[in-house]
């Protein structure tokens, strides 16, 4: 879990990304089901007061296997 300074930095970043709206949907994911970083992030976000957080356990690997679309950022 994060220490207080990192938790505060995370809050500042996510608040900026969500325009301060803690009710907006947030979905965390990692590469696959064996990586727990996204789960831990979801737990931290809920602890910070974000109310609509989900963890996509299968991750990008499961998304890819299912043939779902991916858009690369430019």
pLDDT at 21: 96
7, 49 contact by CB (below 8 A): no
Digits of tens for pLDDT over the chain (74 positions)?
Answer: 789 999 999 999 999 999 999 999 999 999 999 999 999 999 999 999 999 999 999 999 999 999 998 887 77
pLDDT at 32: 94
20, 58 contact by CB (below 8 A): no
Reported pTM? 0.84
| Neighbouring-strand partners of residue 54 | 27
pLDDT at 72: 79
Name the burial class of residue 42, with classes exposed (0-12), middle (13-18) and buried (19+) by CB atoms within 10 angstroms of its CB: buried
């Amino acid at each position: 879990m994060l220490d207080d300074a990192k938790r505060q930095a995370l809050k500042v970043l996510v608040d900026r990304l969500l325009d301060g709206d803690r009710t907006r949907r947030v979905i965390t994911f990692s590469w696959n089901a064996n990586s727990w970083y996204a789960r831990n992030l979801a737990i931290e976000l809920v602890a910070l007061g974000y109310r609509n957080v989900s963890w996509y356990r299968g991750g990008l690997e499961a998304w890819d296997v299912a043939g779902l679309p991916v858009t690369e950022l430019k």
